[in-house]
Chains A and B, each alone.
Chain A
Amino acid sequence: MATTQAGIVPRPDQAGVTPLLEVEDLHVEFRTRDGVAKAVNGVSYTLHEGETLAVLGESGSGKSVTAQAIMGILDSPPGFVTGGAVRFRGQDLLALPDDERRAYRGRSISMIFQDALSALNPVFPVGWQIAEMFRVHEGLSKKDARKRAIELMEQVRIPAARERVGDYPHQFSGGMRQRIMIAMAIALDPDVLIADEPTTALDVTVQAQIMQLLADLQRDRNMGLILIAHDLGVVADVADKIEVMYSGRIMEQAPVHDIYAAPAHPYTKGLLESIPRVDLKGQELSAIKGLPPNLTNIPAGCEFRPRCPYAREICKEQRPPLAEVVPGRFSACHFAQEVLEGDIEPVQQ
């Protein structure tokens, strides 16, 4: 797999090549009775062919909402895209009318959800649901669509696919249901696959199988893969590039090896340090204190400041932009350089 040393700057060999998917300064808000929740506040990232991009963040960080906005499946109202662009091979999807945009969904960009049991329709056989993709999008006959569905079930390694094509979702285990969702997502051979916490609800042995399957499919089809996760462990094995989100913004963006070796943002650092490690057994885990901010009332200055051990005066006043720290690495912290080099002391409070 090609290593991606570049962040949002195209790689030298790809200079001049339009990225597969480009999210630029995306803003999404939810207008609720309790006020306007600013869920996504200026997210930008790019994805190239054959690349795996991991988007990390806690619940409420805006990672899934960004994905929904890319797919165009945001619940609206209450959700509204209030600014920015989502470009697929240069075409801004947000500027398209609904019916033109539908042509991209499933065929160009496709998505897998966390909870396969609620994402699948319980009253139709799984084979019928997979085949629906071919009947609706490609106008195949019932018989041909069913044949294609069986092929797909085999591709996602469902044993005895031919016998199980008529079974209903509840007759499958969690891992098998996730495979069925993957089969539906790749049915139309999409260029971009978004996987929203695909293994969170699964056991660790099944999780390994599903990650392996996704990695194989991505390689075979040269897809761009956006992997949304809340756990640093799952993505370490497969991602090329990591985006860390917090409070609707990207806090850090870096190639995978760099970010685990030396984070350049206090939040990433906090996340990495809160993972239990063998050599720290018997000691207190280093937890990030406090809670994520309320999205209807994001604090002024840096969003992470109330929880940051290094916060200083400037962090109260100015919101740090996502800026390049070293070539290819970006961090939204006033002291990114110092955090990266470990050259900063926590402030006593």
Chain B
Amino acid sequence: MTSNPSSSEVVLDVDNLVKHFPLTTGVLVKRQVGAVKAVDGVSLQLRRGETLGVVGESGCGKSTLAKLLMRLEEPTSGKAYFKGQNIYDLQGKALRELRRNIQIVFQDPYSSLNPRMTVGDIVGEPFDIHPEVAPRGQRRKRVQELLEVVGLNPEHINRYPHQFSGGQRQRIGIARGLALRPEIIICDEPVSALDVSVQAQVVNLLEQLQDEFGLSYIFIAHDLSVVRHISDRVAVMYLGRIVETGTDAEIYEQPTHPYTQALLSAVPVPDPSVRGQRQQIILSGDVPSPANPPSGCRFRTRCWKATDKCAEEDPALIVRPGSNHESACHYAAVREDVVVQH
């Protein structure tokens, strides 16, 4: 692992990021009738060489967050500083420079690679836009080096994506992400589409690359055990907000937010001997619509601790008494019976 990332410099500082997608009605004259609050005030920090895990259910805004940080979407409000510069202020050359430094690896290695391009073209395409990284003559050599780094045979440079398995395709996606030597890689569910035995290979590769190149990762996933394995810090998202954040040990061993507790208790444990011994919190109902989130605390409609206060007052993400990490719950309290040591 990297040498104590908690003390290294902050490479990405996200401040109160908001993304609302307008809901419109009318055919000729569009009228806004509401907004899907996909990301609604997210602040986080990412340090050099660190992995920040982001977990949450589908629809909680984690992929929108990834797109915002890549500047594939413009935020409604908020700022994100990459090395002191607000990435949403950048234009032209400076923006291109930024895009070099923040790269993404997508979830589905089947749809994120162009089936008509060879692996060499896919991995080498970033060099077309950023020729300063690899001059024309050296491009092929660079691509072959990259393939080797991610554990693929450099001789396969002329093959097409369909000639590779899922795990190998994900390696191609990672090679493309590495091509421009970025400082940050956003991994949006990079192993969810892979078989269990192959998942471990890709997780190992990501960790090894981090050590080698000093990369910072934002690792978005719904598999909590993989997130725990790879992350230094974890942020739990619910309905567009971060509800709890802390080191991996704080989140997994001393969760204080009821949602985190429910999420952890629902994780299947691959050990039949603990059957019936752990408390499983089965949340009732579904996640409310992000177009119309509940007043006050957004989790209150599914929370067993909810009181009138929760409906009126939006709990801030602050360090609560009795713990040393941030939690957005009025009644944050450590609960140990949901945590299984295995």
B283 touches A204 (CB 8 A): no
A208 lies within 8 A of chain B by Cβ: yes
Nearest CB on A from B227, distance (A) = 9
B58 touches A203 (CB 8 A): yes
Nearest CB on B from A207, distance (A) = 7
B84 lies within 8 A of chain A by Cβ: no
B4 lies within 8 A of chain A by Cβ: no
B32 lies within 8 A of chain A by Cβ: no
A275 vs B248: C-alpha distance when bound (angstroms): 17
A173 touches B195 (CB 8 A): no
A232 vs B203: C-alpha distance when bound (angstroms): 18
A261 vs B342: C-alpha distance when bound (angstroms): 12
A225-244 residues at the B interface, CB under 8 angstroms: 230-234, 236-237, 239
**Which of B168, B263, B267, B286 contacts A233 (CB under 8 A)?**
B267
A58 lies within 8 A of chain B by Cβ: yes
A291 touches B270 (CB 8 A): no
Nearest CB on A from B329, distance (A) = 17
Residues in B neighbouring A204, C-beta threshold 8 A:
57, 222-224, 263, 266-268
Nearest CB on A from B156, distance (A) = 14
A207 touches B283 (CB 8 A): no
Closest chain A residue to B264, Cβ basis = A204
Q: What's the tally of chain B residues with a CB closer than 8 Å to chain A? A: 47
**Which of A175, A209, A260, A278 contacts B228 (CB under 8 A)?**
A278
Known contacts A257-B272, A270-B197: does B286 contact A208 (CB below 8 Å)? no
B269 lies within 8 A of chain A by Cβ: yes
B270 touches A232 (CB 8 A): yes
Nearest CB on B from A215, distance (A) = 11
Residues in A neighbouring B222, C-beta threshold 8 A:
203-204
Known contacts A274-B197, A281-B229, A282-B1: does B273 contact A231 (CB below 8 Å)? no
Nearest CB on A from B168, distance (A) = 8
What per-residue 1/0 map shows which CB atoms of B1-40 lie under 8 Å from chain A? 1000000000000000000000000000000000000000
A82 lies within 8 A of chain B by Cβ: no
**Which of B168, B275, B280 contacts A208 (CB under 8 A)?**
B280
A237 touches B228 (CB 8 A): no
Nearest CB on B from A299, distance (A) = 16
Residues in A neighbouring B282, C-beta threshold 8 A:
205, 208-209, 212
Nearest CB on B from A110, distance (A) = 24
**Which of A174, A205, A277 contacts B262 (CB under 8 A)?**
A205
B239-257 residues at the A interface, CB under 8 angstroms: 248, 252
Question: Which 6 A-B pairs have CB atoms at the shortest separation, nearest pair first?
Answer: A233-B268, A276-B229, A287-B200, A274-B200, A208-B266, A288-B197
| Interfacial residues, chain B to chain A (CB-CB below 8 A) | 1, 57-58, 165-168, 195-201, 203-204, 207-208, 222-226, 228-229, 248, 252, 262-263, 265-273, 275, 280, 282-283, 285-287, 341-342
A-B residue pairs in contact (CB < 8 Å), sample of 11: A58-B198, A59-B166, A206-B286, A208-B265, A209-B282, A211-B268, A233-B267, A236-B269, A237-B268, A291-B165, A291-B198
5 further A-B contacts with Cβ under 8 Å, apart from A175-B286, A236-B270, are A207-B266, A208-B268, A236-B271, A274-B199, A278-B252
